[in-house]
Amino acid sequence: MPKNKYELIYQTIKDEILSGVYSAGDLLPSENEYTARFGCTRNTIRRALAMLTQEGFLLPRHGRGVQVIWQPQRSRSIFSIGGIESMKEAADRNRMPMSTRVITFEERICDKTLSEKTGFDEGSALLYVERVRKINGENVILDINYFLKSEAEGLTAEIAAKSIYQYLENERGLNITTSLRRVTAEKASRRDFRYLDMEDYDFLLVITGQVFHSGGIMFEYTQSRHRPDMVCFIESAVRRSV
């Protein structure tokens, strides 16, 4: 349940777009019409519309109106990398049956090499977790995570099999905020072949990232290794003045 007005408006309009109230190419009602409908100022409407624009749903045009964009690919998407979303949330969102198997759950101390790779301080106590994601009966994703142990206290292999984010947010009250992500393609390792159903692929789409919580410290380094036919999306890209 959205608490803020702009979130409510954002969700309402987004639902209307997704349910097909407007078709592609249509102009949305004007901002002034929305202010009347939602009983707020243009600023608040504009904030909600800006979020939808950022996600690639809308194309606002000066003097004309705001157009809904046709998006052939969105329907086929499974995981988006524009937002932070746990695997469980993504699977739920797409109504896909997904199961998780924890293959490693152990403590590690951050050495120099690992520190340079992950950004954790040398000597930090970390939790190392490897999980295999099975979707539609196939093992297609290998997730590798390093958590800062001091921040993820109480995390167990049982919880990791369900949803770590849900535990951290609901039980521990952590607030996941922001992350940086890097996308690469990599040759599959022996470990990838061992745990994933690679079919005839010998490479992977790898998404690496750092996650910060609202306490301000980086508490997770994550790597998600996807079989290439598991497509990932950036919801939108916006051109800045150059």
Partner DNA sequence: GCCGATTTGTCCGTATGTATC
Partner DNA sequence: CGATACATACGGACAAATCGG
Pick 30 or 99: Cβ nearer DNA: 30
Tokens of 111: 């050495």
Mask 185-214, x = binds DNA (CB under 7 A)? -----------------------------x
Q: At what angle do helices 5-18 and 42-54 cross, to 10 degrees?
A: 50
Q: Which of 28, 142, 164, 205 binds its own copies (CB under 8 A)?
A: 205
Binding to its own copies, residues 57-86 (CB under 8 A): 59, 61-62, 64, 67, 69-74, 77, 81-85
Plot region of 165 (φ>0 → left; ψ -120 to 50 → alpha; else → beta): alpha
**What is the dihedral sign for C-alpha 180, 184, 187, 193?**
positive
Pick 28 or 164: Cβ nearer DNA: 28
Q: Is 177 helix (H, G, I), strand (E, B) or coil?
A: strand
112 counts as binding its own copies under rule CB under 8 A: no
Q: Which of 34, 48, 56, 87 binds its own copies (CB under 8 A)?
A: 56
Binding to its own copies, residues 145-204 (CB under 8 A): 176-187, 201-204
CA 159 to chain centre: 19
Q: Is 39 helix (H, G, I), strand (E, B) or coil?
A: coil
Query: DSSP labels for 90-153?
Result: HHHHTT--EEEEEEEEEEEE--HHHHHHH-PPTT-EEEEEEEEEEETTEEEEEEEEEEETTTST
From the list 63-71, 89-97, 132-140, 204-212, the region that binds DNA by CB under 7 A is 63-71
Q: Which of 15, 21, 26, 42 binds DNA (CB under 7 A)?
A: 42
22 counts as binding DNA under rule CB under 7 A: no
Pick 3 or 107: Cβ nearer its own copies: 3
**8 Å CB contact between 137 and 152:** no
Q: Residues interacting with DNA, by CB under 7 A?
A: 4-6, 28, 30-33, 39-44, 46-47, 60-66, 214
